[in-house]
Amino acid sequence: MTKIDERFKGQVALVAGGARGIGGAVASRLAAEGARVAVLDVNKNTLDAKVDQLEKSGLQATGFAFDLTDEDALADTIEKVYQWQQRLDVVVNSVGIVGPTGIPIVDYSTEEFRKVMEVNVTGAFLLTKLSVPYMSNNNYGRILHVASIGGKDGNPNMVGYAASKSGLIGLIKGVGKEYATSGITINGLAPAVIATEMNQDTDPQVLKYMADKIPMKRLGTVEEAAAISCWIVSKEASFNTGFVFDLSGGRAVY
Ligand SMILES: NC(=O)c1ccc[n+]([C@@H]2O[C@H](COP(=O)([O-])OP(=O)(O)OC[C@H]3O[C@@H](n4cnc5c(N)ncnc54)[C@H](O)[C@@H]3O)[C@@H](O)[C@H]2O)c1
């Protein structure tokens, strides 16, 4: 049996949206458990700070700044990550934008809707499409996309986010089945509200609406998100694919 803090020893993990928030906590935990971690993020300042923090802790990390929706840059970066150690074992996609909140569909900008779909769905599509060939080389891989309870339940007045996360859940289920016999698993996580920088600017009334729906009556933490995420992308999670795991303090019991 592997010691828990060495679960990812010898593995290479790519964490998209790993500069802060849930992805940041997942990147830290993967690195602390032995993975070499490539952090991808559109925000160069927070990315550099994250890689610096990991390196100063004696962990192995590298960073790539770019927009997940840029297919050519993504293909180039995944190739570089693979060439780093000639392997790619784990991909975690924590990239996501909320888009407008508290806006009924009739007032919701079509341009904003397209932008949310582009980042949350097309980005996930590209990352999955471009990563699986490298994992197929090794007949092993773990891909995890961070979806949302909003994609399962459909939070009102944020149609772009709800539609994009439902779309992402469909992608996870379909592609999970597509690769079910390959050694590569593709799963999702559906958190309720987690305290991160992402929701600092969310309308307090929307946040209260979401927190009130949680039976545990509190927000989740990024450490709780990292704990379940790291199990999902570990070798132990070998009989789970195409599934969207709950992280909702009892809100979703399905
Ligand atoms: N925080 C919550 O309450 C919550 C709840 C449910 C689901 N989620 C989902 O979890 C994921 C992470 O959320 P978070 O709260 O940590 O958010 P966050 O904003 O703190 O982190 C997201 C990261 O993605 C990066 N990013 C955004 N757009 C990008 C792009 N186009 N290309 C590359 N990087 C990009 C950001 O720079 C940021 O570092 C998101 O998908 C979010 O929808 C969050």
> Would you say 16 and 127 are in contact if contact means Cβ atoms under 8 Å apart?
yes
Residue 180: what pLDDT? 98
Query: Is the CB–ligand 1 distance for residue 118 below 6 Å?
Result: no
**Atom 25 in ligand 1: residue holding the nearest Cα:** 17
The pTM for the full model equals: 0.97
Backbone angles phi, psi at 104, to 5 degrees: -65, 155
Q: What is the pLDDT of residue 210?
A: 77
What are the domain boundaries of the chain? 4-247
Q: Which pLDDT value is given to residue 201? A: 80
Does the C-beta of 22 come closer than 6 Å to ligand 1? yes
Q: What is the pLDDT of residues 153-176, one digit of tens each?
A: 998 999 999 999 999 999 999 999
Asked if 135 and 89 count as a contact pair (C-beta separation under 8 A), the reply is yes
State the closest ligand 1 atom to the C-alpha of 43, by its place in the atom list counted from 1: 37
- 64 strand-pairing partners: 40
The Cα 40–Cα 222 span in angstroms is 18
CATH architecture, domain defined by 4-247: 3-Layer(aba) Sandwich (3.40)
Rounded CA-CA distance 8/231 in Å is: 10
Residue closest to 150 by CA, chosen among 121, 179, 182, 190: 190
Classify 37 as helix, strand or coil: strand
20 CB within 6 A, ligand 1: yes
Per-residue pLDDT of the chain (254 residues; tens, 9 = 90+): 566 679 999 999 999 999 999 999 999 999 999 999 999 999 999 999 999 999 999 999 999 999 999 999 999 999 999 999 999 999 999 999 999 999 999 999 999 999 999 999 999 999 999 999 999 989 999 999 999 999 999 989 999 999 999 999 999 999 999 999 999 999 999 999 999 987 888 778 877 877 898 999 999 999 999 999 999 999 999 999 999 999 999 999 88
- CB 203: neighbour CB atoms within 10 A? 15
- Minimal CA–CA distance to 158: which of 128, 217, 203? 203
Active-site residue flag, 161: yes
Residue position matching structure tokens 């993990």: 13
